[in-house]
A and B are shown apart, each in its own frame.
Chain A
Amino acid sequence: MKFGVLIFPGSNCEHDAYHAVRKVLGQPAEFIWHQSTDLRDCQAIIVPGGFSYGDYLRTGAIARFSPVMGAVRRFADRGGLVLGICNGFQILLETGLLPGAMLRNRGLKYVCQQVSIRVENVRIPFTALAREGDVWTIPIGHMEGNYTLDAESLRSLERNRQVVFRYCAADGEITAGANPNGSVANVAGICNARGNVLGMMPHPERASEPLLGSEDGVRLFQSMIRSRS
């Protein structure tokens, strides 16, 4: 499966994502500059983490207007796989490909740590190789990961099984203490109704080799690859 990794001015996780899919998973991959509108026959697009446009105005707010995001929107509309990680998730929210918005972390601090997340939905291409209730150890690193959404939209999100990952304790229990940023319903990652666009604050590319302390992120990439083979 050919992966395209977007680069915005201020992105800083694009090489990690590229390394994970190219070197760890052995898939063809290519960088795509934010000014491009050509996704070069990629079968999956990764919107990487970082600080696109310095996070000025709001996280992801300026990146949303990049030429490449128009192409990504058309790609997603056709059913293409789009994975937004951290700032990439924030960009997908601003673009409207995913519902909701991010607020500053409840504790107002940048949070950088390993977290446990529970896999809540395994019927989408991104988690097809996981079992429901699996607990993954994956790091986060963000200041604006406090996901919010009005009560009615949250109910619809839950009803459609669009919450894909939740912050949890090591044993999988969803507790307030396991929530690192104040995110509503412990949300760590969500998908669109169709299941082909996923946004998540944890970084699967930083959990893709034993040296990094966890390989749980590999299962996400493997699931994506399997879904299209």
Chain B
Amino acid sequence: MKAKVFVSLKKSVLDPQGKTIHHSLQNIGFGKITEVRQGKFFEIDFDSELTRKEVQAEVEKIARDVLTNPVIEEFSYRIE
């Protein structure tokens, strides 16, 4: 089973990289963009013996304890 984890900066945290990308996109003609936020993406493969529920528990723990810094980041995930 595979988990896809998306990590992004919280809305309340300024994202200087996203802002710079946004400005560049505007400069090359993509004028209708209102905001860009940059984040991280992880693909994690799990042992096939694990149940979906077990994978879910593992992913949440990994994302909470390691992949994000809860002061500035939040995460979402999908299991496939």
Contact = CB atoms under 8 A, between A and B. Distances in A.
A63 to B, nearest CB: 12
- Interface residues of A, dominant DSSP: loop
Contacts of B9: 103
Contacts of B67: 57
Contact of B13 (A57, A93, A94, A148): A148
Interface residues of A, number: 20
A73 interface: no
Contacts of B20: 108
Interface residues of B, number: 12
B16 A104 contact: yes
B16 A106 contact: yes
A54 interface: no
Contacts of B72: 101, 103, 148
A108 B16 contact: yes
A61 B16 CA distance: 20
B8 to A, nearest CB: 13
Interface string B1-25: 0000000010011101100100000
Interface of A: 57-58, 61, 65, 93-94, 99-101, 103-108, 146, 148-150, 182
